[in-house]
Structure 1
Amino acid sequence: MLDQILVGAAIGCLYALIAQGFALTFRTTHTMNFATGEIGAIGAFVALGLAGVGWLPAPAKLAAAAIIVALVGAVVFAVLIRPFVTNDGHDARWLLVTVALSLVAVDLLRNSQGTQHRPLDFARLDGVLSLGFAQVPKQLALLAVVCLALGIAIALLVTRTGLGVRMRAVAEDTETAGLVGIDARRMGMLSYAIGSAAVAVGATLWTGYVGVFPDIGPLLLVPAFAGAVIGGLISVWGALAGGVLYGIAEQLFAHWFGATAGGVIGLVAVVGVLVLRPEGLFARRVEVKV
């Protein structure tokens, strides 16, 4: 069972990093990108295209893919989402736009790249890492370390720096933030760029384990969004914890009761959290004064 816990925690680190992207954009713009999984797929295919550049080291290829996808994320916000951002978050047309973008992106990837799984020739470790008491594939161990490091870095950026303060100011009152010189559009683009870049890195490392294929999106979107809800959509630290918990629960229940149960238990947990503690397990309750 320890093997399943370690594998679940490793994959959960990927879910956590993507969940953190949801929390980051939600706390900054009151919106989320439901094409996040497809953004990760684009990053993986960009990395696959860079695999043939022999003179470029693997970390540089990964960084290049992340930068390209970060630009894609910033453009998605500026062109498709920003027109529907309101200070109270009541205009939900951004949700329809991002869902439509997800469907379009999947269709384009399938038609242009085919549906087969392709191996990634870099950023991949073969074999199993033995810890004495349990074993975990080396690629998943690499995935866990990188995703966890990126997740902690993003959380610290958001909660401990001036940039994070400006993002929070934009979320709380866009007009007042503008009066003191904070550009809400720029903060939104930056939050989407950071979230997209992180997703690209995580998805690329994951495809080093499962292969690169167009239908990555749904496999990543649902667990990551569930992790964000469980941890708390306004808490980057909570999203990090929620994603890891989801990954562990998914693996354990799949081991005990089958793959279907593994996929269902997380969604049941989401429903329970929404009913009992809508703000999430790790987010502080926010009181609104009228």
Structure 2
Amino acid sequence: MELILQQVLNGLTLGGVYSLVALGLTLVYGIMHVPNFAHGAFYMAGAYAAFFLMSSLGLNYWIAMIGAGAAVAILAVIAERLVFHPLRKSEGLHQMIAAIGILLFLEAGAQAIWGADFRRMATPYNGMVALGSIAMPSQRLLIIVGAFALMMALHLFLRKTVTGATIIAMAQNRDGAALVGIDANRVAMMTFAISGVLAAVAAALYAPINLVYPSMGNLVITKAFVIIVLGGMGSVPGAILGGLIIGFAEALGGFYISTDYKDIIAFVLLVVILSIRPQGLFATGAR
């Protein structure tokens, strides 16, 4: 039982990180209706920004996380203004190619600045926390608490504020939102900024128990796409639920089957669930 509970906590850790990344991806998809492959590069940039602020400037972990969120939010807005906005009336394929171009550009930039070496990001939370008979690393517990707190904050922002309501309106009906006076450009920039913050915070939370390197976002963004397809394209609840499903599947599958196959489990689940429910778990659009 203790081993099972340990894997449940591991599943919550992975699910929290995946859900944060998938939330940013699904918000952008809801507005642009184009898969943003550059989101993985934003995740990587968040990890490197936090690493740089801590290692080179000597800032503490929390300030580095906030700084990384702000830096990636600005980077995401610049990408939206310079790349995605001029292509807003083009075919979706053009925007997808542009997103891949941003991904490759940022990865090459990170490698040029920091090199291709794997780096370890320090954390002040190196101890263990006793949860009954289970001992859990403090950083993993921080990931769970931080990820779900941020998800709740995003939910309240979208549901309880006028700005959040404009994002939902744009996701549901872009033309209708424009007719009632919603500024599409402002909402698009805000959505990209929020997605950048989510990716950066997820990276800053997860990097201390992982490694920081230029291509670190590739596998994460691939799983994030699996999650948003699994949950329903453009669905916020689907992104959260899909992230938790993939997180638990990887944790339990890696423990009971083999860690060698844990990255394949997400894609197997995608095939199984979509064969039963092709439209995804939440197919009614963004909520």
TM-score scaled to structure 2, two decimals? 0.89
Instruction: Please list, as runs of the form range in 1=range in 2, the aligned pairs for 1:119-158 lying within 5 A after superposition.
Output: 119-122=120-123, 124-158=124-158
Instruction: Tell me the amino acid that sits aligned with residue 114 of structure 2.
Output: Q
Within the candidate set 3, 6, 10, 2:9 is matched to: 6
CA gap 1:159/1:274 in 2 versus in 1, 3 angstroms: farther
**Preserved CA contact (<8 Å) 1:106 1:215:** yes
1:133-184 deviations in whole A, cap 9, x for unaligned? 4333211111111111111211222234322321233234434433332111
Within the candidate set 27, 37, 49, 1:24 is matched to: 27
**Preserved CA contact (<8 Å) 2:7 2:252:** yes
Provide the rounded CA distance (Å) in 2 between the counterparts of 1:172 and 1:252.
Answer: 36
Within the candidate set 35, 40, 44, 1:41 is matched to: 44
Provide the rounded CA distance (Å) in 2 between the counterparts of 1:176 and 1:232.
Answer: 22
Residue 163 in structure 1 maps to residue 173 in structure 2: no
Gaps of 5+ in 2: none
Shift of residue 276, structure 1, vs aligned partner: 3.0
Shift of residue 16, structure 1, vs aligned partner: 0.5
Provide the rounded CA distance (Å) in 1 between the counterparts of 2:237 and 2:156.
Answer: 9
Residue 53 in structure 1 maps to residue 57 in structure 2: yes
- Higher deviation after alignment, 192-201 or 257-266: 257-266
- Higher deviation after alignment, 27-36 or 271-280: 271-280
Provide the rounded CA distance (Å) in 2 between the counterparts of 1:42 and 1:102.
Answer: 10
Provide the rounded CA distance (Å) in 2 between the counterparts of 1:117 and 1:221.
Answer: 19
> Cα RMSD between the aligned structures?
2.1
Instruction: Tell me the amino acid that sits aligned with residue 72 of structure 1.
Output: L
Provide the rounded CA distance (Å) in 2 between the counterparts of 1:222 and 1:85.
Answer: 24
Name 1:117's counterpart in structure 2. 118
**Runs of at least 4 residues off by over 6 Å:** none
TM-score scaled to structure 1, two decimals? 0.88
Name 1:78's counterpart in structure 2. 81
Shift of residue 128, structure 1, vs aligned partner: 2.7
Gaps of 5+ in 1: none
CA gap 1:188/1:32 in 2 versus in 1, 3 angstroms: farther
- Higher deviation after alignment, 262-271 or 160-169: 160-169
Instruction: Please list, as runs of the form range in 1=range in 2, the aligned pairs for 1:206-221 lying within 5 A after superposition.
Output: 206-221=206-221
Residue 232 in structure 1 maps to residue 232 in structure 2: yes
Instruction: Tell me the amino acid that sits aligned with residue 253 of structure 1.
Output: G
